[in-house]
Amino acid sequence: MRRWIGFLFAISLPLVATAEDSPLHRLDTTEDGRAWEAVGRLDVNGAGFCTGALIAPDLVLTAAHCLFDKTSRNRIAAETIEFMAGWRNGRASAYRHVRRAIVHPDYEFAGDVSPERVRNDLALLELQHPIRNTTVTPFRTATRPSTGEEIGIVSYAHDRSEAPSLQDVCHVMARQQGMLIMSCDVDYGSSGAPIFSFSDGTPRIVSVVSAKAEVGDQRVALGTDLEGPLTVLLADLAAGAGFDVPNAPRIGRIRVGDEKHQTGAKFVKP
């Protein structure tokens, strides 16, 4: 059985009240999942899985921590990762292996769990071959959502690994230091799942899931404020960066505990 990949920690931050969220809806049928075929399960190194989404025919957006082995803390070889678009009940609309992976240069897997880590927890996967299936349409991205805005999520998780689930109404509860705190229902395996804005009637990705957390008795999702970090990744992609290709960029080291990184939030290591 494949294991899921994810983080869990506690956080204490001031949040705004939001309207009631919708429940999760499992996308078991072709009709249910038709609009979400570009979301897929990422099988990682034959052992674990995350969630990812196409933003171009050959590019998958996901969380950076999905590309590291939790025990050894080493990067996972890109060619051992497979993206299965629209994976549902044992079948996918398209299967592609990964040619190279690009992690945000400021992401530090070995560091303590912190807002700094969450806001840089982003990666791009370049597929070995583009997906040209007409039923799999890449999603566009959008600028950061405002506090209180309705958003949605499509994700896999440890208890729903064979079909994605849609929560089409959850909310941005707070934004702080490049990190979004959201009321979306996530669990292990949801790492890297796309968070969508529906502000113009079309789903556009505004974040990806980095972790689940708890605020008091309420479970929340944490993710990066997508706009800035994605610009960095696309620039690195254009420059030929990435691991499993020559001249891979070095990961910038962050000294966790420096005064400038203190936030007042309480975090617990996963």
* Tens digits of residue pLDDT in 181-208: 999 988 888 999 999 999 888 999 999 9
pLDDT digits (tens, 9 = 90+) for 109-126: 876 778 888 999 999 999
pLDDT digits (tens, 9 = 90+) for 238-255: 999 988 765 433 333 222
Count the Cβ atoms, other than its own, within 10 Å of residue 260. Answer: 6
pLDDT digits (tens, 9 = 90+) for 42-83: 999 877 899 999 999 999 999 999 999 888 889 999 999 999
What whole-number distance in Å separates Cα of residue 198 and Cα of residue 159? 27
Q: What is the mean pLDDT of residues 143-160?
A: 90
Q: In terms of Cα–Cα distance, which of 169, 227, 223 is closest to 191?
A: 223
CATH 2.30.38.10 fits 3-245, yes or no: no
Under the banding of pLDDT at 50, 70 and 90, the label for residue 14 is low
| pLDDT in the model for residue 114 | 81
**Weakest-pLDDT range from 4-13, 131-140, 218-227, 230-239:** 4-13
With tokens 């931050």, the residue in question is: 13
pLDDT at 217 over 90: no
What whole-number distance in Å separates Cα of residue 62 and Cα of residue 5? 12
Write down the domain spans for the chain. 3-245
**Rounded mean pLDDT of the chain?**
83
Q: What is the mean pLDDT of residues 15-38?
A: 83
| pLDDT in the model for residue 62 | 97
